[in-house]
Amino acid sequence: MFSKITGSPLLARVAPFAVFVLLTALQDRFGEVARYWIYLGKTLAGAGMLAVVWKHIAELEWRVRWEAVVVGVAIFALWVGLGDLIARLGWPEYPKMKISGPAWNPQAEFGPGSTLAIFFIVVRIAGTALVVPFLEEVFFRSFVYRYVAGKDFLAVPLGKFLAVPFVVTSVLFGLEHREWLAGILCGFAYQGLVIWKGRLGDAVTAHGITNFLLGLWVAWKGAWHFW
């Protein structure tokens, strides 16, 4: 099976993300406690599949560059502040308009300060900062953006701006997140970074920084609604 995935440029970019999404769909179907263990399982599965396909995706890299750091921090600030800003501008319903299931709050499930609560908070931060950015950026920025432009997606340069793929990819990316509007704006930023620098790794780094800072913010402030 792995040879089929690694031997296909399309499957190498799609299969890890597809498995992750499938496990996400199962996450809330077996009770509240099970969803935390399934998250751990899907994180490990995602990391394992990334290890398999890594060397077969030439543009897959992770280097810390100042542009990526700036975008990552800026998107974090946007993410945590957008709901309040929009509410003050006259759309108070927006912060309540979430996509997907209930918020992730291991403190409520396992008890504040309990070993399991701390464990799953660390798992969530690690998963969103170290695994999710690779899975999502490879799928959306390396595959979807270029596939919308043409079926021979490998022939489409990462740094080429194309209006329709830019909008489609960013909207799909945003709708995958609970904070859908922030997600769409985030998609614009990450896609713009890839186009600007012509490197997928910059978006991976920015994405990882955003998610890491957001995880710290959630744990510090108890802002579980972001998860």
227 residues of the chain, pLDDT tens digit each: 667 777 799 999 999 999 999 999 888 888 889 999 999 999 999 999 999 999 999 998 878 899 999 999 999 999 999 888 887 887 776 666 666 667 789 999 999 999 999 999 999 999 999 999 999 999 999 999 999 999 999 999 999 999 999 999 999 999 988 888 899 999 999 999 999 999 999 999 999 999 999 999 999 999 998 88
Q: How many domains does the chain have?
A: 1
The residues near 206 (Cβ < 8 Å, ≥ 6 apart) are 68, 69, 71, 72, 75, 189, 190, 193
Single-letter residue type at 179: E
Assigned domain for 145 exists: yes
pLDDT at 7: 78
Burial class (CB in 10 A: 0-12, 13-18, 19+), 36: buried
pLDDT at 79: 94
pTM of the model: 0.92
Assigned domain for 48 exists: no
Assigned domain for 76 exists: yes
Assigned domain for 26 exists: no
Assigned domain for 195 exists: yes
Q: Which of 217, 66, 53, 70 is nearest to 139 (CA)?
A: 53
Assigned domain for 23 exists: no
| Residue linked to tokens 């998107």 | 75
* Tokens (6 digits) for 143: 């595959």
Assigned domain for 68 exists: yes
Secondary structure class of 227 (helix, strand, coil): coil
Assigned domain for 136 exists: yes
Contact call for residues 150 and 138 (beta carbons, < 8 A) = no
> 74: domain range?
61-226
